[in-house]
């Protein structure tokens, strides 16, 4: 059976995510363009939840 692990438990920082997953930043404005078009605005609750996750990633050791 598959084991489920929270992303915040498996990866502690943006640097670790970049290293372990082979990610690199891009300035390409067309990168995943389909994620940018015709999206509904985030609710206040969604914005607050996103801020919490972002702070955790930025403050992680």
In the chain, where are the structural domains located? 7-24+32-59
Residue 46 or 5, more confident? 46
Please choose, from the candidates 2, 1, 20, the residue with its C-alpha nearest in 3D space to the C-alpha of residue 10.
20
**pLDDT at residue 18 greater than cutoff 80:** yes
Cβ atoms 17, 23 nearer than 8 A:
yes
What's the predicted TM-score (pTM) here? 0.42
Model confidence pLDDT, tens digit, residues 19-30:
998 988 888 888
pLDDT at position 50: 94
């Amino acid at each position: 059976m598959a084991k489920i692990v929270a992303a915040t438990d498996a990866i502690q920082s943006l640097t670790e995510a970049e290293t372990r997953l082979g990610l690199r930043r891009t300035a390409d404005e067309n990168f995943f363009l389909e994620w940018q078009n015709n999206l509904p605005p985030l609710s206040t609750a969604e914005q607050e939840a996103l801020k919490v996750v972002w702070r955790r990633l930025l403050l992680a050791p």
